[in-house]
Structure 1
């Protein structure tokens, strides 16, 4: 083991995922990518990361569902999760509202477009780095 903290980025936007991956690696993290909630959940169960960056709006299984499943499972509930969403903060009429994101058990919640720097700072804070 190389001692680096492992981050799992789960987002269905490949360009955003690659930008974030490169930035996190530059900051000294090992990064693994998943492109939907089901793939992300499977990767957590195969090799639990130190922290997760999780997009909310994804096909198949959204970020809320992934977050809920992980936080309810004692084996994974301590993994810090940063939820990301492009939903406007004033939207309250859908399941993807800012209020819903804030009420999740995630450890941090950021509206997109969050910068790679902002996400990295959140991860460092959650991992006490």
Structure 2
């Protein structure tokens, strides 16, 4: 069964790019445009990995991450931050990888596959 990736980003071009990238590698993808919808999608689909933008409306990446880590059954889902904004927020800790935008296709795929044990 294909591994599931939840893409959370408010930029439709980034979402489309990541969706095409991951779908092309055989992953099943789901998307959300903010942290509120992202948490709902995570609860519905229980993804194997989440890519997370930090600067979004409604609930940004930091608030989403803090909420996710408190959710039973979702707290252990690996997260990769893909963002174009500033330094790492302290809430993330050092074990959350950060990829800067613009996204490097090879680096992103390598990291995601490594985190998923592929």
4+ runs deviating over 4 angstroms: none
Residues 87-102 of structure 1: pairs in structure 2 closer than 5 A: 87=85, 97-100=86-89
SS of corresponding position for 1:52? strand
Q: Deviation at 1:16? A: 1.2
Cα distance in 2 for partners of 1:27, 1:74 equals: 29
RMSD: 1.6
Q: Deviation at 1:72? A: 2.5
- Number of positions where the alignment pairs a residue of Structure 1 with one of Structure 2: 117
Q: Which runs of 5+ in 2 are unaligned?
A: none
Of 53-62 and 73-82, deviating more is 73-82
Deviations 1:13-68 (A, max 9, x none): 11111111111111110111111111111110112101000100000100111111
Is 1:128 the counterpart of 2:94 in the alignment?
A: no
Q: Which runs of 5+ in 1 are unaligned?
A: 88-96
Of 16, 19, 22, the match for 1:18: 16
Cα distance in 2 for partners of 1:18, 1:10 equals: 11
Cα distance in 2 for partners of 1:115, 1:32 equals: 20
16 and 47 in structure 1: CA distance in 2 versus 1, 3 angstrom threshold: same
Aligned partner of 1:91 in structure 2 is: none
Aligned partner of 1:8 in structure 2 is: 6
